[in-house]
Amino acid sequence: MQKVSIIGSGNVGVNSAFFIAEMAAAHIMLIDIKEGMSHGKALDLMEAAPIRQYRTKIEGSHDIKDIKDSDVVVITAGLIRAPGRDRGEHFQKNVDIIKGLCKSIVELAPNSTIIVATEPVDAMVMVICRETGFDRKRVMGIGGLLDSTRMAHFVAEKLNVSPRDITALVIGSHTRLMLPLPFYSRINGIEAGMLLSAEDIEEVVTNTRDAGSVIVDLAKRSNAYYAPSAAIAQVVEAICIDTKKVLSMSIMLAGEYGLEDVALSVPCKVGANGIEEIIELDLKNEDLQALAASAEPIRSYF
């Protein structure tokens, strides 16, 4: 079984470990600089194994050297967003953390694929690509996947149907300029626009864009973590079990959709080799313009 190291043992990191264990996708190494935290969380998770019956091994460490030979490295470390604050307000402090981690990853896990959850996620994908020198298809952020699952929830809620019947697609930056694509949202194959009014669709799109902020404002001292963790686990499963899942992932673009040198979420086939294919949709001109506009907040960090 492959090895996945999760750097950061806060809510996102630990819940990601739990979901990955439930999937039996990989053995897990939890890493956190706070001595004892990862060991305690790992022990707690393993004590649930007899009941939940997952077959994976979960370990904890405060030593970054224990990511050695990881097949996948998940980065959740960094400052989280506070109520009333934008995702990008911690950019510089998180960049400093990420740059230090990049050196360790290059040295200890040079063949790994990196999954990024640290905010602002698209900008962090760019930083990691530059700092590690890894092929762009081995560094991916979960922003679009998270936004897509949120949109699917709001469609299911609006129609009062099972969320298992819903697929949705959101591309662009993980900001309020994200681009939800109602045409690509389906209810067991049925286009969302055939079941939802224009007003309903507009409400779904607004709720999707606001979802992260609403959770922070409601929970006060806690960011979203169940949905981000579920997104991370799905990507880990796609890589470690080679599912070839099509997911909206943040990746450095190199001409796709007419954009270069910026990381945005677009549909990607994810498998054992990381992002194995970038899927270019035949978008309307207005959607292409909106996609390009969504890149501007990310470019502004550099």
pLDDT of residue 223: 81
Q: How deeply is 256 buried, as exposed, middle or buried, from its count of CB atoms within 10 A (0-12, 13-18, 19+)?
A: middle
DSSP 30-63: EE-SSTTHHHHHHHHHHHTHHHH-----EEEES-
Displacement of CA 35 from its chain's centroid (Å): 26
Q: Are 17 and 25 in contact (CB under 8 A)?
A: no
- Cα→Cα distances 273→17, 66, 143, 256, 277, Å: 21, 22, 20, 19, 10
Quick: pLDDT tens for 188-198.
999 999 999 99
Give the separation between CA 203 and CA 157, rounded to whole angstroms.
Answer: 11
Read off the pLDDT of residues 230-257 as tens digits, 9 standing for 90 and up: 999 999 999 999 999 999 999 999 999 9
pLDDT in tens, 61-98: 999 999 999 999 999 999 876 665 666 677 888 999 99
Per residue in 207-225, pLDDT (tens digit) is 999 998 898 888 776 688 9
State the catalytic residues.
174
Read off the pLDDT of residues 266-289 as tens digits, 9 standing for 90 and up: 999 999 999 999 999 999 999 999
Fold (CATH) for 144-299? L-2-Hydroxyisocaproate Dehydrogenase; Chain A, domain 2 (3.90.110)
pLDDT of residue 99: 96
| Exposed/middle/buried for residue 183 (C-beta within 10 Å: 0-12, 13-18, 19+) | middle
Q: What is the pLDDT of residue 222?
A: 67
Report, as an integer, the average pLDDT of 158-187.
Answer: 97
Question: Domain extents for the chain?
Answer: 3-142, 144-299
83 sits in the region (left: phi over 0; alpha: psi -120 to 50; else beta) called beta
With cut-offs at 50, 70 and 90, classify the pLDDT of residue 56. very high
Residue 26 to residues 57, 63, 202, 221, 247, Cα–Cα distance (Å): 8, 20, 39, 31, 20
Write out the CATH class of domain 3-142: alpha beta
Q: What is the mean pLDDT of the chain?
A: 95
Give the span between the Cα atoms of 235 and 141, in whole angstroms: 10
Average of per-residue pLDDT across 133-158? 98
Query: Residue 85: what pLDDT?
Result: 61
